[in-house]
Amino acid sequence: MAAQSSSSPAQTTTTLALLLVVAAAAAAVAAEAAAVAADAARGVRQVNRRGPYLGVVVPNGFEMEPLLRSPAFSPAKKLPYLDVAGRRFRFGTIGEKKLNSGVTTQLLLTLFDVEGIVHFGIAGNADPDLHIGDVTVPRYWAHTGLWNWQRYGDGPEKELALESNGDYTRKYGALNFSDYGVAGGGGGNLLNGVWYQPEEVFPADGTPESRRHEFWVPVDGRYYQLAQKLEAMPLERCVNRTGTATSPATCLARAPAVARVERGCSASVFVDNAAYRQFLRSRLGVTPIDMESAAVALVAAQQGAPFIAIRSLSDLAGGGSAESNEAGVFAALAAQNAVAVAVKFISLLS
């Protein structure tokens, strides 16, 4: 799906071609992607003649809607859709969670002439020093949903099965469930503990079947450096700013800000648990927690594509924030701020 996005500074107008691919049923599409119909292939070639493009990957329609309403965005007029493998792709979502986001990113990079990927959306927050509405740009992403679950009775000194083969490691984690008993922990728990595991990556330009392990996947160095220019940009702090007697404005205690941070993490888990949030923060040093960014990062790493993720904080995961309503009220504000930062970043690339 080809589209154009315009940014209009005071004296100049910059037009940057964007590519958005929608996979409401990404896994099903992937199974058919090898057999792209002839007319769809012609459409893809027609789009690619205007490339290369910037790939824009968005988790869902809620997070993409502010982009579609942005004055910086205008859809392509001659190519309103592409029909790939019998499915019509329009503006929409990649589908939440790791599988959908990874499959859709792979389709994007396989079918289209893409020079880099910008991923944006909202996220939970693990850093109590940041606030709702702040927009984070991590340097590294980890997938924290790949576990090696130890047998009951085994401790951190006990080698994991197949660890000696290089398949597993005791480097990351260890989440010990007995540490979280209501009586203070330490008394043992049949769930025992888990160690987080790096993903296997097989680079597209590498030796066939030659793997490397990736836990902290870096974003593109140039993209991350460029994101420094975003840190002073103003962001929205109020929901329904105009307000009415029946629907008053709701504002954050302070104006949100953009922050480049060191680490973010993803898993197919909605984290609304303060103890687990604190574990992720203290053990791994993460700030945003989401379901998709690490999958996009891993596919980009496998394909050698430049990548960055921009995530706006909608809540302090598990509660405890000074803001009383958190995501229920401020998710839309967070999504708006994520889009504002993404659009500004895209303008800096042109």
Listed by start position, the domains of the chain span 53-146+198-349
For 278-312, the pLDDT digits (tens) are 999 999 999 999 999 999 999 999 999 999 999 99
- Within the chain, what is the greatest distance between any pair of CA atoms? 68
Alpha helices in the chain (DSSP H): 26-32, 38-48, 61-68, 97-111, 221-226, 274-279, 293-303, 327-349
- Mean of the pLDDT values across residues 81-87? 43
Q: Inform me whether the pLDDT recorded for 91 exceeds 90.
A: no
Residue 203: per-residue pLDDT: 83
Indicate the CATH number of 53-146+198-349 among 3.40.50.20, 3.40.50.1980, 3.40.50.1580, 1.50.10.10: 3.40.50.1580
pLDDT digits (tens, 9 = 90+) for 165-221: 899 999 998 999 988 887 765 677 889 999 999 998 888 887 788 888 999 999 999
Q: Is 183 exposed, middle or buried (0-12, 13-18, 19+ CB in 10 A)?
A: exposed
Work out whether the CA dihedral 198, 200, 202, 208 comes out positive or negative: positive
Q: Look at residue 194 in the predicted model and tell me its pLDDT.
A: 95
> What is the structure's pLDDT at 42?
79
pLDDT score of 108:
85
Number of H-type helices and E-type strands within the chain:
8, 19
Parallel, antiparallel, or unpaired for β 73-75 and 250-251?
unpaired
* Mean pLDDT confidence for 320-327: 59
Mean pLDDT calculated for residue range 112-128 = 92
> Is 0.85 surpassed by the pTM of this model?
no
- Tokens standing for 186? 């330490």
Provide the residue type at 140 as one letter: Y
Assess whether pLDDT exceeds 90 at residue 313.
yes
